[in-house]
């Protein structure tokens, strides 16, 4: 697939995805979502890719939401499909990615932009970040998982306050709430994301995937997370990563995990 709305470049095991519609503050139109789907799906099976870092182009916005101009004439059925397909094809795909996905939030992360960041496994934001779910100003509610993931990350009271008021919060408040993992300067944003990703990439790829799956199960009411943990834990023992990790420890050397 040719990308026109995102940049996707793999450098030394990291797939850097940049949402590249700066003139529209990187708003997620249908084409952008399709490209994101394609890039993240391909990353799952590409052995040259260990993890994904998502950011927005320019200094002003990570993503300022779903593209409002595209759904302005939608009816209920079309709105339902918009949310359903978006959740399945992009937001859940990212959340359930077997490879780690880090959001580097460089400015506005509003509506679908904050939902995109929240679907990622880890969020790092620069000091100019502004985060919010302003959908009620449009007569809507968040539709790409925002009501669920914001509640999981900051608790019901703060999630309701943010969603009902539509207010944006700044990066410092988001950090204090645990909505972002790290708060850094704009210059340090991508280097910090890369440093964190490189550390994760030095660990067992199989164990990293297993951990994502077990942690995600904690938030999935259709699963018993403790059982998923037992299952994933047991599966680890049958992997080359386990043999290498334990051998490296016993031989007092650094583990050299293979990506396959
Ligand atoms: N969908 C479509 N276009 C969007 C957009 C969105 N979510 N967010 C911004 N844009 C477009 C603007 O329409 C404008 O395009 P134009 O230059 O062709 O008119 C361009 O991006 C720049 O945005 P602008 O509003 O002029 O920038 P600003 O600095 O004055 O305001 C925001 C920045 C983020 C406060 C404002 O763009 C905004 O409120 N965006 C919508 C946020 C939102 O409600 N998101 C949830 C959607 S469900």
Statement to judge: residues 183 and 245 lie in one domain: no
Angle at which helix 225-236 crosses helix 205-217, to 10 degrees, equals: 170
- Ligand 1 neighbours, Cβ below 6 Å, are 24-25, 27, 64-69, 108, 110-112, 134-135, 138
User: Could you read off the pLDDT of 143-181 as tens digits, one per residue?
Assistant: 999 999 999 999 999 999 999 999 999 999 999 999 999
Q: Which of 95, 124, 255, 115 is nearest to 185 (CA)?
A: 124
Range 209-233 average pLDDT: 97
Query: Catalytic site residue 59?
Result: no
Q: How far is CA 24 from the centre of its chain?
A: 21
Residue 18: is it exposed, middle or buried by C-beta count within 10 angstroms (0-12/13-18/19+)?
Answer: buried
Per-residue confidence (pLDDT) for residue 244, from 0 to 100: 97
Helices (H) and strands (E) in the chain, counts: 12, 10
Q: Which atom of ligand 1 is nearest to the CA of 168?
A: 35
- Work out how many domains the chain is built from and give that number: 2
The answer to whether residue 258 is domain-embedded is: no
The answer to whether residue 145 is domain-embedded is: yes
Lay out the sheet containing 130-132: strands in order across.
61-63, 108-110, 130-132, 169-170
Per-residue confidence (pLDDT) for residue 260, from 0 to 100: 75
The answer to whether residue 111 is domain-embedded is: yes
Reported pTM: 0.98
Considering the candidates 9, 13, 135, 173, report the single residue annotated as catalytic.
135
The answer to whether residue 260 is domain-embedded is: no
User: Could you read off the pLDDT of 16-67 as tens digits, one per residue?
Assistant: 999 999 999 999 999 999 999 999 999 999 999 999 999 999 999 999 999 9
The answer to whether residue 1 is domain-embedded is: no
| Per-residue DSSP letter, 8 | E
Statement to judge: residues 119 and 140 lie in one domain: yes
| Cα-to-centroid distance, 4 and ligand 1 (Å) | 20
The answer to whether residue 173 is domain-embedded is: yes
Domain containing residue 73: CATH number: 3.90.226.10
Per-residue confidence (pLDDT) for residue 169, from 0 to 100: 98
Statement to judge: residues 63 and 90 lie in one domain: yes
Per-residue confidence (pLDDT) for residue 142, from 0 to 100: 98
Which residue lies with its CA nearest to atom 38 of ligand 1?
64
The answer to whether residue 225 is domain-embedded is: yes
Statement to judge: residues 179 and 209 lie in one domain: no
């Amino acid at each position: 697939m040719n990308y026109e709305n995102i940049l996707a470049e793999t450098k030394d095991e990291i797939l850097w995805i940049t949402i590249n519609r700066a003139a529209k503050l990187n708003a997620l139109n249908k084409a952008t979502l399709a490209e994101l789907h394609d890039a993240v799906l391909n990353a799952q099976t590409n052995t040259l890719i260990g993890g994904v870092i998502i950011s927005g182009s320019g200094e002003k916005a990570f993503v300022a939401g779903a593209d409002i101009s595209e759904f302005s004439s939608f009816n209920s059925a079309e709105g339902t499909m918009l949310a359903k397909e978006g959740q399945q094809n992009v937001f859940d795909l990212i959340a359930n990615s077997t490879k780690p996905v880090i959001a580097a939030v460089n400015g506005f992360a509003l509506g679908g932009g904050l939902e995109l960041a929240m679907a990622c496994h880890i969020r790092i934001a620069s000091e100019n970040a502004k985060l919010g779910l302003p959908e009620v100003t449009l007569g809507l509610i968040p539709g790409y998982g925002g009501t669920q993931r914001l509640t999981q990350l900051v608790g019901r009271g703060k999630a309701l306050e943010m969603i009902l008021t539509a207010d944006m919060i700044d990066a410092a408040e988001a950090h204090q709430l645990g909505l972002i993992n790290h708060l850094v300067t704009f210059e340090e944003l991508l280097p910090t994301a890369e440093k964190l990703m490189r550390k994760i990439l030095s660990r067992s790829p199989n164990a990293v995937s297993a951990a994502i799956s077990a942690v995600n199960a904690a938030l999935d009411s259709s699963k018993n997370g403790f059982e998923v943990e037992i299952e994933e834990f047991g599966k680890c023992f049958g992997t080359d990563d386990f043999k290498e990790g334990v051998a490296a420890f016993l031989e007092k050397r650094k583990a050299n995990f293979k990506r396959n």
